[in-house]
Structure 1
Amino acid sequence: MQWFWIPEWDIEPGHTSRQQVIAFPTSNLVVQNDLVEFAGPTTRCSHRDLTGRGWAVGALLRPAVVPRFIADPGTLRDARMELPFADLHAVVSEAMSGTDPEQRRQLAVEAFTAWLVAQGTELSEEGLLANRMMDVIGDSAGATRIEDVAARLFVSPRTLQRVAKKYIGLSPSTLMRRRRLQEAVEQTRTNPGTDLAVIAAGLGYADHAHLTNDFQRILGFTPGKYRRSLVQGRRQP
């Protein structure tokens, strides 16, 4: 796995909390208080409406292990599938039943990790190449051409297209655009005084308009609107 994420919530009766999610474009294995599900790669911003009291323990999977759970991750693009892993659900649920928040999360990660290891550790060379491809793309938001990534990995662009489809379910170009957009969102949030045209140029966008188009198409709002929402949020008591 690449990392774990563990949200917990306790919403007042009659209320709902909508959580906007800009997920990494890879698959997750998620244990919740009532089920285990496999979440496929995402191509757009999504949301979850939280009610009542609950938790989730998710593992962002490395591409090489995805075939253990699904033959073609592309069939679950922007979708989820429940899995019958009662043993995984049992050990993670037991860990999350503790009273100390920090301790239960640590125990949940340890239980989840042990379960994943028990599923087998043999990984194909092709799968490991998919991992390295994601590392190269993740290390540089300026990686905008598949030819550059292929050259760093000493393979052909066609090879990268094949392994991306098999192990991730998205094309390399989609992965690079998402990585660049995530960096744009982060810079827009953390550098509110920086001109958006400067951010666009620094990340390899042709111009400010192309950055805005990516925001609007994938996230559903413009960079300017995103910045204004952040300012309004800071002003609220």
Structure 2
Amino acid sequence: MTRLVRWFWIPEWRIQPGRSSRQHLIAFPACNLVVEPGAVGFSGPTTGSSYRDLTGTGWAVGALLRPAAVPHFVADPAALRDRYQPVDLPVLHERVHRAMTGPGDRRTRHRRAVDAFAGWLTDTVPPSSHEALLANAMAEVIDSDPTIRTVEDAAVRLRLSTRSLQRLANRYVGLPPSAMIRRRRLQEAAERLRTDPGTTLAAVAADLGYSDHAHLANEFRSVLGLTLGSYRRRVILDEDGTA
């Protein structure tokens, strides 16, 4: 299963009538397969921040897909950048829906849903090719190694040409490797601001290898559509429960 899914995620919500809850997201540069009460959808890689307004009562069971799983569901993930497309997978929907709506507490239902989802993927997705596993290695290196700051760094680590790396990323992720690296660095910046609100923006920029605070701020705004200051204020408000 680790060759197909990085992790499963399961939100459930119950919002009072007449109210909504806006969830802001800075997603990984990857695709998701998502089961909801009424449908199954495939979410392509995102290029900026996004949000979803939750209302009423609902749930979702999602799988953050590793690159090797992507071609089984979509031929061109780049065509689905920042898009969500319904997919006809009735068996997957039936199994996960039954698990989420069956008896038991939340923990039990979530465990059943993940088992059902994972079992369906194992039964459905054929063995991964060498190229697909290489794409997994590419994503793992880019996502986990903070010393990789350029496409050339990643190519050297994987012993590939930059052109081969570009082809892998396009076919299995739907984003160029430069965008994957940039997104990871911005996610690291956002994580630092969430977990250490007292840190200075200059310190975050220096730790992540940016030439200065302004470079990080400009990239954060251009890619995610947020200023560092507004993101920090939003995090503080969310933690205080006032927004």
Q: Deviations over 1:144-171 (max 9, x none)?
A: 1111111111111110000100010000
Corresponding residue SS for 1:3: strand
Q: Does 1:164 align with 2:136?
A: no
Q: How many residue pairs were aligned?
A: 237
Q: Give the Å deviation of 1:232.
A: 4.0
Compared with structure 1, are the counterparts of its residues 227 and 90 closer, same or farther at alpha carbon in structure 2 (3 Å cutoff)? Answer: same
1:213 partner letter: N
Q: Does 1:128 align with 2:126?
A: no
> Which sections of structure 1, spanning at least 5 residues, go unmatched?
none
Of 34-43 and 10-19, deviating more is: 10-19
Q: Does 1:89 align with 2:101?
A: no
Structure-2 residue corresponding to 1:13? 17
Structure-1 residue corresponding to 2:203? 198
Work out the CA distance in 1 between the residues paired with 2:28 and 2:80: 15
Corresponding residue SS for 1:230: helix
Structure-2 residue corresponding to 1:28? 32
1:92 partner letter: V
Work out the CA distance in 2 between the residues paired with 1:140 and 1:209: 23
Corresponding residue SS for 2:16: coil
2:21 partner letter: S
1:108 partner letter: A
Structure-2 residue corresponding to 1:56? 60
2:17 partner letter: P
8 Å Cα contact 1:142/1:180 also seen in 2: no
* TM-score computed with the length of structure 1 as normaliser: 0.96
8 Å Cα contact 1:6/1:58 also seen in 2: yes
> Which of 223, 226, 229 does residue 221 from structure 1 map onto?
226
Structure-2 residue corresponding to 1:71? 75
Work out the CA distance in 2 between the residues paired with 1:46 and 1:208: 24
Structure-2 residue corresponding to 1:187? 192
Q: Give the Å deviation of 1:187.
A: 0.8
Work out the CA distance in 1 between the residues paired with 2:173 and 2:57: 32
8 Å Cα contact 2:189/2:204 also seen in 1: yes
Q: Does 1:145 align with 2:169?
A: no
Structure-1 residue corresponding to 2:84? 80
Work out the CA distance in 2 between the residues paired with 1:115 and 1:205: 43
* TM-score computed with the length of structure 2 as normaliser: 0.93
1:133 partner letter: M
Q: Give the Å deviation of 1:73.
A: 0.3
Corresponding residue SS for 1:31: strand
Compared with structure 1, are the counterparts of its residues 8 and 123 closer, same or farther at alpha carbon in structure 2 (3 Å cutoff)? Answer: same
Corresponding residue SS for 2:71: helix
> Which sections of structure 2, spanning at least 5 residues, go unmatched?
none
1:192 partner letter: P
Corresponding residue SS for 1:30: strand
Q: CA RMSD in A?
A: 1.4
Work out the CA distance in 2 between the residues paired with 1:78 and 1:236: 29
8 Å Cα contact 1:8/1:55 also seen in 2: yes
Q: Give the Å deviation of 1:16.
A: 1.3
Compared with structure 1, are the counterparts of its residues 232 and 61 closer, same or farther at alpha carbon in structure 2 (3 Å cutoff)? Answer: closer
Q: Give the Å deviation of 1:140.
A: 1.8
Structure-1 residue corresponding to 2:41? 37
Compared with structure 1, are the counterparts of its residues 184 and 142 closer, same or farther at alpha carbon in structure 2 (3 Å cutoff)? Answer: farther
